[in-house]
């Protein structure tokens, strides 16, 4: 149940654990990570990260390694594994009222009762095979959605964009499993076309292998996979593009359940609503009306065939979504396609890590509460709160001077900054898991009940007040997010620990690393998406037509600049899709720089570090927070499915547009890092 409007800070690197022998985090500034033989004015990313890139291997079970986060992530997970191991042995060293549930879930994942798991899976498959009418189809889809299995379309529940104080029900597009809709369409003009075709071919082979494992004959598995791929391709074709999804106004289509049902009357919506216990609702918000209109034809077509394609499709989705919980051959097959072929990983990660991730995903507050008890973050929390105050003040001053804002837009922007809320470190209130029943038998059973309890609870909250204490990211994750429906930015504990923030480092170093992240999240509230939400998180555009025109003209410069960036041979960054993140990086870095100047104006400059003054430290620290090495396969997935541009882009493009950077490193105009033409917005 994902809030599709949440804007996470970074592309989620699928598991950033690095080698088990590196038990310390790297320093915030690291001379050995640099390549001082290269020129800072030619490629600053290489200058700041070149040494690290050369000397850091990507572990076999990872698709990337990140200087800033991998070691910390490894440490965090070794703590989580230790806590879970102790709970599973009945020890309660870190006191927790959820110790039994956490321990049993972990144990069920480490030593699953496979016979029992297969029995559960069989009964789920049986139910799908019995589909013979629109009613039984709708009912089966509803049961899968309650179990947290994706199929045909998605629903989610989060703050209403029309009244952010209440929860609303959203119906989204969905039902296709490759990383983005683009994967389904081979493009004859695209030099990567062969690669795409190969991916589709392997995907089809993978679906057949999974169905075969579940008891389909080889021939039937193959013909079913063919039909499933066609169905997913149709769903993908019916879905909005990534560019279209960037407009929250377009995603806001409130309608009565009766009107919604009429978009695709062949699906027995009443049956579906009844199973979800939501028949009484007045309204839902449909993010993609066309998608639901086109669904109708898909159902009519398969109905003639006694739903044979949809049945195989639902079985495939079930098996795919439970593969990690099942472990064994199911997990191995899933790894071979989604991790190895798509993202270039060489080896399955250890089961302990997978199990800790699974328990953490399903009971984040229970595990988070235990994690916080053994991680000291008080000083960091205070420091971050102080930095947030400074950066809000600086941005406020910037808005006062910005020439492309007219007065009414300026005062709305100032009001939005004033109302901007923050969550730092960890929740004040932890969610309780009283209604969740966990046993030590099978991870599959626990996974399904955790999803069912969560979904049922959320469904019962539609139309009721939003729980403002809730966090949508676990505290051990090195990441942050901005929630436009709450006008709130959130910084989990792991994001504010070293090396993102080092209380012994210079102000320049800290503002360059964590300060840029704070700025980035704040700026999200003020771009072409953010301006559609007011300070209270309601969809309420506060730009005038003139300001919008000015913004578009300035933003085009960034779109064009990004479009020229070749991430892999023939594969370019999509300037439009990445615009929000790109502007957040640009504006965030600029605001962090001004905040650093303001915060240190009363103090003498910090001591030089490795021959670099504090101003230079600010830029090196920023760049070093983005030293990332990624397998080309994983980079391709990122470019094709994620709005975040690659790491070297986030460093070089941002700094190319910043005049203080070229001054700090004496880059003369005309060098690569100091181009004549720059883009300017904030």
Return residues touching Zn ion (CB under 5 A). 7, 581, 584
Chain-centroid distance, C-alpha 433: 24
**Smallest distance from Zn ion to CB 51, Å:** 28
8 A C-beta contact, residue 36 and residue 616: no
Nearer CB in complex with Zn ion: 7/268: 7
The two structure tokens encoding residue 130: 């019995």
d(Cα 54, Cα 139) in Å, to the nearest integer? Answer: 54
**Smallest distance from Zn ion to CB 248, Å:** 15
Nearer CB in complex with Zn ion: 508/519: 519
572 — alpha (psi -120 to 50), left (phi > 0) or beta? Answer: beta
Nearer CB in complex with Zn ion: 359/490: 490
**Smallest distance from Zn ion to CB 82, Å:** 32
User: Which residue has the CB atom at the shortest distance from Zn ion?
Assistant: 584
Nearer CB in complex with Zn ion: 18/561: 561
Nearer CB in complex with Zn ion: 302/527: 527
3-state secondary structure 299-329: HHHHHCCCCHHHHHHHHHHHHHHCHHHHCHH
Nearer CB in complex with Zn ion: 141/490: 490
Nearer CB in complex with Zn ion: 232/529: 529
d(Cα 145, Cα 492) in Å, to the nearest integer? Answer: 29
Per DSSP, the three-state class of 365 is helix
Nearer CB in complex with Zn ion: 9/105: 9
**Smallest distance from Zn ion to CB 618, Å:** 20
Nearer CB in complex with Zn ion: 521/534: 521
Nearer CB in complex with Zn ion: 271/477: 477
**Smallest distance from Zn ion to CB 545, Å:** 27
- Residues written for the chain: 682
Phi, psi angles (nearest 5°) of residue 147: -75, 0
8 A C-beta contact, residue 106 and residue 85: yes
**Smallest distance from Zn ion to CB 298, Å:** 34
**Smallest distance from Zn ion to CB 524, Å:** 6
Torsion of CA 507, 508, 513, 518, to 10 degrees: 70
8 A C-beta contact, residue 433 and residue 252: no
**Smallest distance from Zn ion to CB 7, Å:** 5
**Smallest distance from Zn ion to CB 310, Å:** 37
d(Cα 533, Cα 137) in Å, to the nearest integer? Answer: 38
Q: At what angle do helices 614-624 and 579-599 cross, to 10 degrees?
A: 150
How far from 632 is each of 190, 346, 555, CA to CA, in Å? 17, 13, 29
328 — alpha (psi -120 to 50), left (phi > 0) or beta? Answer: left
**Smallest distance from Zn ion to CB 57, Å:** 29
Torsion of CA 238, 243, 249, 253, to 10 degrees: 10
């Amino acid at each position: 149940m994902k809030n599709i409007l949440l804007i996470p800070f970074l592309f989620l690197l699928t598991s950033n654990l690095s080698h088990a022998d590196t038990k310390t985090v790297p320093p915030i500034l690291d001379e050995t990570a640099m390549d001082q033989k290269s020129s800072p004015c030619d490629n600053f990313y290489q200058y700041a990260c070149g040494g690290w890139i050369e000397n850091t291997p990507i572990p076999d079970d990872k698709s990337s390694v990140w200087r800033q986060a991998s070691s910390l992530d490894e440490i965090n997970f070794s703590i989580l594994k230790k806590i879970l191991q102790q709970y599973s042995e009945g020890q309660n060293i870190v006191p927790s009222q959820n110790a039994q549930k956490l321990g049993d879930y972990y144990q069920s994942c480490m030593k699953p009762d496979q016979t029992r798991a297969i029995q559960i899976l069989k009964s789920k498959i049986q139910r799908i095979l019995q589909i013979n009418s629109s009613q039984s189809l709708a009912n089966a889809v509803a049961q899968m959605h309650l179990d947290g299995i994706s199929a045909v379309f998605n629903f989610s529940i989060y703050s209403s964009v029309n009244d952010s104080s209440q929860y609303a029900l959203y119906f989204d597009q969905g039902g296709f499993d490759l990383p983005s809709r683009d994967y389904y369409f081979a493009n004859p003009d695209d030099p990567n076309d062969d690669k795409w075709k190969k991916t589709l071919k392997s995907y089809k082979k993978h679906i057949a292998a999974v169905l075969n494992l579940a008891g389909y004959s080889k021939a039937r598995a193959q013909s079913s996979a063919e039909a499933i791929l066609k169905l997913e391709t149709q769903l993908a074709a019916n879905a909005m593009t990534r560019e279209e999804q960037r407009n929250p106004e377009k995603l806001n289509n409130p309608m009565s359940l009766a009107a919604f049902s009429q978009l695709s009357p062949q699906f027995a919506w009443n049956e579906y609503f009844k199973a979800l216990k939501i028949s009484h609702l007045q309204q839902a918000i449909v993010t993609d009306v066309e998608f639901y209109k086109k669904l109708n034809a898909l159902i009519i077509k398969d109905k003639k065939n006694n739903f044979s394609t949809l049945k195989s499709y639902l079985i495939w989705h079930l098996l795919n979504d439970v593969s990690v919980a099942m472990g064994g051959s199911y997990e191995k097959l899933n790894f071979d396609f989604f991790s190895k072929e798509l993202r270039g990983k060489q080896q399955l990660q250890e089961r302990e890590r997978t199990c800790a991730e699974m328990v953490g995903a399903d009971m984040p507050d229970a595990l988070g509460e235990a994690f916080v008890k053994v991680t000291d973050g008080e000083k960091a929390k205070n420091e971050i709160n102080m930095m947030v105050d400074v950066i809000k003040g600086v941005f406020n001053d910037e808005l006062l001077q910005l020439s492309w804002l007219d007065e009414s837009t300026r005062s709305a922007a100032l009001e939005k900054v004033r109302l901007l809320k923050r969550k730092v470190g960890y929740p004040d209130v932890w969610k309780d898991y009283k209604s969740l029943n966990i046993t030590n038998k099978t991870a599959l059973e626990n996974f399904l009940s955790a999803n069912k309890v969560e979904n049922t609870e959320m469904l019962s909250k539609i139309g009721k007040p939003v729980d403002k204490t809730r966090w949508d990211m676990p505290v051990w994750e090195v990441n942050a997010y901005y929630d436009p429906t709450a006008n709130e930015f959130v910084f989990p504990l792991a994001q504010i620990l070293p090396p993102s923030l080092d209380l012994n480092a210079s102000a320049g170093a800290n503002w360059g690393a964590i300060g840029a992240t704070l700025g980035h999240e704040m700026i999200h509230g003020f771009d072409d998406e953010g301006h559609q939400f007011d300070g209270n998180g309601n969809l309420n555009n506060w730009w005038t037509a003139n300001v919008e025109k000015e913004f578009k003209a300035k933003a085009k410069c960034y779109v064009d600049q990004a479009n020229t960036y070749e991430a892999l041979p023939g594969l370019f960054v999509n300037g439009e899709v990445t615009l929000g993140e790109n502007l957040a990086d640009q504006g965030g870095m600029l605001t962090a720089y001004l905040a650093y100047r303001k915060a240190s104006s009363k103090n003498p400059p910090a001591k030089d570090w490795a021959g670099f003054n504090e101003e230079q430290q600010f830029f090196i620290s920023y760049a070093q927070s983005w030293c990332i090495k990624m397998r080309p396969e994983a980079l391709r997935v990122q470019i094709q499915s994620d709005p975040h541009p690659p790491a070297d882009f986030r460093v070089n493009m941002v700094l190319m547009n910043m005049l203080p950077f070229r001054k700090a490193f004496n880059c003369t105009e005309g060098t690569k890092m100091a181009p004549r033409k720059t883009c300017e917005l904030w």
